[in-house]
Structure 1
Amino acid sequence: MTTLCAAIERQTAHALACGALHPIETAHTFIDDGGMRFSVRVAENLARKEALRLTPQTSAAPGPKPPRDPFLPYEPDLFVGDLSSTHVALLNKFNVIDRHLLIVTRRYEPQEALLDAADFAALITVLREIDGLGFYNGGAAAGASQPHKHLQMVPLPLAGDAPHAAPLEALLGGAQAVHGARPIANVPGLAFRHAFARLDLGAGIGTAEDAAHAALDCYRALLDAACVPAIDVGGLAHQGAPYNLLVTRRWMLVVPRTTECVEGIPVNSLGFAGSFFVRDAAQLQTLARLGPMTALERVSVPRLRGA
């Protein structure tokens, strides 16, 4: 059987050759702040991406056109493989990080719906083959650019010459359990509201199904601890507030959000892992002036008093 890694490499080569994949070329630098070495990628040329996004969709109907769902149908040239009966793996068309994978529901589900066992089963199928960072941008204010439910995964380490697989891991050794919620912890050094837990999603926990249920239970506990309520929308559980989710084989983090950008710089889940993307040198200067940790605080909910 073809491994997922091999399928990603094969499809990446094909998508580059046929022009379906449009990597964004970046220069790479670091900013040290708050005990973390943040990885910052600076775009060298966004013109092609902007031109493609602004290309109008052909339609006989007059008037404004609704945004097209890029996953229904998905581009066959970006298709990596079937993950389950409910999810497929696609290449990220405009990738900043190599081998950036999208984990997409076959049928339309809203991005604001809570993740379920099927979502985690698909994610764990990926994480058991690739030691990566899975993440979910829960809503537009958390950095989601598409309304169709999709998780994402990028391989670790986030920067090959950094001391940690993800810069956030420099702070995780001091995580302190919250009284009354044994598996839930706060991370010293993070001044914004969050909830953290260690877990084992590798083969040591049992079957992939066992791992998916363990991950789902942990996720719901973290949402509760971070004060992200579940609400019912037409019989489907939705998030009551925007949030970011980060998942590796070893830990999980939830961060509630208030806004997508700080001084024009968009922040999604990767920012909380310690990885930023800026459009140009001016945004890099702004981020360096603010400090990445302050940028994260300004798009997040203040930490609970006494937490």
Structure 2
Amino acid sequence: MFWNDAARVTRQALVDGYLMPITTEAEVMTEQNVSYLGYIVTANASKKPIAETPQANPFLPYEPSMYVGEAGERHVCLLNKFPVLSPHLLICSKTFVSQSSRLCKVDFDAWLLGFDDSNVLGFYNSGPLAGASQPHRHMQVVKAEIPLESVINSGSLPFRHCLSLFSELKSADLYQCYLNALDSLALDDGEGECLPYNILLTARWMLVVPRTVNNIEGVFANALNYSGRFLVKRPEQLRWLRQYGIMRYLTECSVKK
């Protein structure tokens, strides 16, 4: 329900200079017949804030120029001011909720409002080791192809994960699958906080991946990497990634089977 408004807000924010895209054009990297996509950050990335505490929070209050719409009673849809892909939407809680605490059903209710097309990709980074740069609860949504989708669906991922398949996205069913994934992967500490993990969500499936480190040799990983897209600071890091092995890198950032 957000995409028409998001396109309009994006156009205006670019004209007004409020939106700061942080990537170059994608570079294709092929490994084992999979065409991964690599991006190099632009100078805009240096302006992106990294919140050390809830007080340094870009979502409270949010910039009016980034506002797309309401996402239920407890969430708001904003543009990502520093998008990797555009439009890049954030579904944020209206009050502070820890990014590493267990998701609630109302989070999924709000998140699913962005899933009105088959090419929508949602992703979530739970905690700094999973790639979260902000401590405030926010789910992310883009429209993008998924280079790793065939590998994900084949069941051949070489690291621990939980894959749930759907014929239709329903919030209650999705939430139950999420709770099952936390349980099967031992990610919930029993007190509402979680060990680091990523979620990828499409209209067809949800992938939950436990995380152990947030970078290898200065190449950082978040949920979007597990779709087959990589964002690096320098061109030589893409060369390093090719030599190191892309799937090896993803495996070592998670938990080997």
User: Quick check: TM above 0.5?
Assistant: yes
2:225 partner letter: G
Task: Compare CA radii of gyration and give the structure with the larger one.
Answer: 1
* Other-structure match for 1:198: 165
Match among 222, 242, 253 for residue 181 of structure 2:
222
Q: Specify whether residues 295 and 171 from structure 1 end up closer, same or farther in structure 2 by C-alpha distance, changes over 3 A only.
A: same
Q: Specify whether residues 88 and 244 from structure 1 end up closer, same or farther in structure 2 by C-alpha distance, changes over 3 A only.
A: same
Q: Which runs of 5+ in 1 are unaligned?
A: 55-63, 158-165, 175-186, 203-210
1:271 partner letter: N
Moved more, 32-41 or 100-109: 32-41
TM-score by length of 2: 0.93
d(CA) in 2 for partners of 1:170, 1:127: 20
Runs of 4+ in 1 over 4 A off after TM superposition: 51-54, 64-67
- Equivalent residues of 2:54, 2:136 under 8 A apart: no
Q: Specify whether residues 231 and 155 from structure 1 end up closer, same or farther in structure 2 by C-alpha distance, changes over 3 A only.
A: same
Q: How far did residue 238 of structure 1 move?
A: 1.7
* Other-structure match for 1:10: 8
- State how 1:212-291 maps to structure 2 within 5 Å: 212-232=171-191, 237-239=192-194, 241-291=195-245
Q: How far did residue 82 of structure 1 move?
A: 0.4
The 3-state SS of whatever aligns with 2:25 is: strand
* Other-structure match for 2:75: 87
2:94 partner letter: R
Instruction: State the identity %.
Output: 36
Q: Specify whether residues 67 and 298 from structure 1 end up closer, same or farther in structure 2 by C-alpha distance, changes over 3 A only.
A: farther
User: How many residue pairs align between the two structures?
Assistant: 256
Q: Specify whether residues 110 and 129 from structure 1 end up closer, same or farther in structure 2 by C-alpha distance, changes over 3 A only.
A: same
- Equivalent residues of 1:108, 1:148 under 8 A apart: yes
* Other-structure match for 1:58: none
Q: How far did residue 34 of structure 1 move?
A: 4.0
Structure 1 vs Structure 2 CA RMSD? 2.0
* CA deviation map 1:226-283 (0-9, x unaligned): 2212421xxxx221x1000111110011110011001101100011111111111111
- Equivalent residues of 1:78, 1:93 under 8 A apart: yes
The 3-state SS of whatever aligns with 1:222 is: helix
Q: Specify whether residues 92 and 65 from structure 1 end up closer, same or farther in structure 2 by C-alpha distance, changes over 3 A only.
A: closer
- State how 1:72-151 maps to structure 2 within 5 Å: 72-128=60-116, 131-151=119-139
Q: Which runs of 5+ in 2 are unaligned?
A: none
* Other-structure match for 2:45: 49
